[in-house]
Structure 1
């Protein structure tokens, strides 16, 4: 009996130890889930995860997954439609290419027909004219290219080397001419320089005389201008005096005319007064 109790006690201890191990494992699993749910955006930081919020978050995730699946299905359908339209476009392009090839073969004249066309005098003349025109254009293009090369030459280019050689020859010729001039024409040049200096001195003297004469003329002109201004002022004063005298004369004439009119009126009055007296005497 005691042995059986001991065995049962040992079994209970073993089962208790296994239960404790399972409990620790469950606790660690719960901690993992707890930490995992704390990192999701549905749970605020610093708070424990609520089962309702976690369930709602999972349902939202499921609904978003379903919507994404629907969008993926729609995208697949669109892709299939685009593939079909692309195949149709490729088929149309192939048909158009074949039509273009057929048109090219139809528009391309056979060799005999081209020979007949070239044997036609008008076409042959036009062909030769165009050929000559092309040759002229090619010549002009060649000339323009040469001009461009001449403008943009470098000392290492062919044209640059030719120009440098020409410059060296010209420099040598100039040195020779300078040596000849220094040997034979220095005296002649000195004589010419002396003559030019004497002419320059004469011209300078003439210029001085002319400058003095111009100073005198300018002084005379200034004096004459002053005299003219004075005479103009006197003339203006005389004009004012003449206008004043004319006004006085016109005023005197007006007063004289008034006096004459007054005298005439007085004489007329006297004659009219004497006429009745004569009539009375006659009666």
Structure 2
């Protein structure tokens, strides 16, 4: 037969009058009960601490893991933002160079801008630059209020937006680097030939022909 589980000891509660009227034997008896109750409480506390040890260890590991992951992602996002800012500055420098070329050769520029293909291309590049600036500002604002867990929706959206912004700016940088005004002026005759083809063509839309010319120009 197993051992019969005994009831836990109870706390001894005596008022002042009872304590004064206690005989020595009764006092010693109550003292022993109180000591037994204290020992039982200590054993319960020790058991609880032992049981909680694995839980606390897991909690500390989880906190450390989350902190490390968040720190790593924050550093990664800051690096991406710094890269985007540098790319924006490079684009601004290229725009200033284009403006300087425009100021230095106003006659040539005026004739170039009269060509529809060149004018549309420049307007497109300016629009892409404005979009990139707006996207970068929005990303910076989101990072200022950055509070997300590794699997939160906010974190995932921010990472996706950074990747998209990086791809868009890479493409924009290639377009601007390949589309400097000097090269546009050099290939102006080719663009005018494309314009003539657009006027003469009887199949497809004007937009489709322009897109074909645009793709051919940047792959030539």
| TM-score normalised to structure 1 length | 0.27
Instruction: Specify the structure having the higher radius of gyration (Cα).
Output: 1
Structure with bigger helix share is 1
| TM-score normalised to structure 2 length | 0.34
